[in-house]
Each structure stands twice: as C-alpha cells, then as structure tokens.
C-alpha cells in the first residue's frame, strides 16, 4: 500500500489564522491578494495609511536572524530609508522583531513604516508572518500611534 499524506497534518501544519483590530474608519483590502490587508478611508489624493500582512513558509533550518537580514535588505532599498527603532520582542506565537523607520515617498513626503516579523516554529517548518504598516508623516503623531496600535493588535492563532 502507498503512503498517504494530507494538509493540514503534523508534518504539514495549516497556515496561521490572523486577526487585526482597527478603528471604524479602516476597511478591508480583500482584492489585493494578501492573507490580510486593511487601509484607512481617506479623501482622494491623500496618502492612504495601510497595514499589509504576509505569511511565508520556510524549511526547518530557518531563523529570525535570516528573516531580519532579508527585511534589512528590503528596507535599505527604500529611498533614503532611516531606521528609528528596532527591538526584539516576545509574542505568544514565536520570536518577533519590531522595526520602525521612515523614507522618502513618491510625492516628496516622508513616509513612516512599522514592520513586525514573527517567526513561528511549526516543528517541521517555520512560518514567517510579516505585518507592514505605512502612513504619511503629514498625518502627525496620531497617524503613527494609530498604526502602531493596529500592528500591535495582530493576533496569530495556530491549529
């Protein structure tokens, strides 16, 4: 008899369930092809604050350091990126890294970016959940504080 394997199962765990808590003036961006994406309702011609979540799966030899190096490469590619904060933090699902910075936007405005990556050991594989929140400096500290709260609200549930 041949072997039979299924997904999800112990060697092939299902993907994490994700949740974000947002203010009432934020909406789902369901059509962007990401596991979870939200944006604030704003007038046209104004930078739209957003938070985008991705999930990637890696082999058993993956580490937070490897994910951090990939994130650093991506951030260095942003125009005039300047890191403002970096902290390794504890979350229920696994090891996490929090990075805040800013870069020059396409219209000459300063764009704030907050990224949290969570590396989850699933036994045979690692899942990397990344949430990237972005807003314009023109929204002031309230916009950045609102975005921080949304990024921090990310809940990751595992089967």
In tens, the pLDDT along 67-108 reads 999 999 999 999 999 999 999 998 888 899 999 999 998 878
- Write down the pTM of the prediction: 0.93
Direct distance between the N- and C-terminal alpha carbons of the chain, in angstroms, rounded to an integer? 29
Q: Which of 118, 147, 145 is nearest to 39 (CA)?
A: 147
Kindly tell me if the per-residue pLDDT of 1 is higher than 80.
no
Catalogue all structural domains in the chain, each as residue range(s) with its CATH number. Answer: 17-157 (3.40.1000.10)
Compute the CA torsion angle 151, 153, 154, 159 (nearest 10 deg). Answer: 170
| Residue 55 confidence (pLDDT) | 97
| Residue 112 confidence (pLDDT) | 96
Question: What is the percent of the chain where pLDDT is above 70?
Answer: 99
Q: Which of 138, 133, 127 is nearest to 154 (CA)?
A: 133
Higher pLDDT, 107 or 32: 32
Tokens encoding 23: 């203010």
Q: How far is CA 87 from the centre of its chain?
A: 15
| Residue 94 confidence (pLDDT) | 87
Cβ 102 vs Cβ 137: under 8 Å? yes
């Amino acid at each position: 008899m041949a072997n039979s394997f299924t997904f999800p199962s112990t060697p092939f765990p299902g993907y994490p369930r994700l949740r974000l808590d947002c203010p009432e003036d934020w909406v789902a961006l369901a059509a962007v092809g990401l596991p979870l994406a939200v944006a604030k309702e704003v007038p046209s011609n104004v930078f739209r604050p957003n938070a985008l979540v991705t999930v990637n799966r890696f082999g058993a030899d993956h580490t937070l350091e490897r994910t951090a190096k990939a994130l650093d490469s991506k951030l260095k590619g942003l125009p005039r990126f300047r890191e403002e904060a970096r902290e390794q933090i504890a979350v229920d699902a696994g090891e996490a890294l929090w990075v805040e910075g800013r870069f020059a936007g396409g219209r000459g405005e300063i764009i704030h970016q907050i990224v949290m990556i969570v590396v989850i050991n699933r036994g045979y594989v690692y899942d990397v959940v990344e949430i990237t929140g972005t807003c314009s400096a023109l929204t002031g500290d309230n916009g950045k504080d609102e975005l921080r709260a949304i990024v921090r609200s990310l809940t990751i549930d595992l089967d």
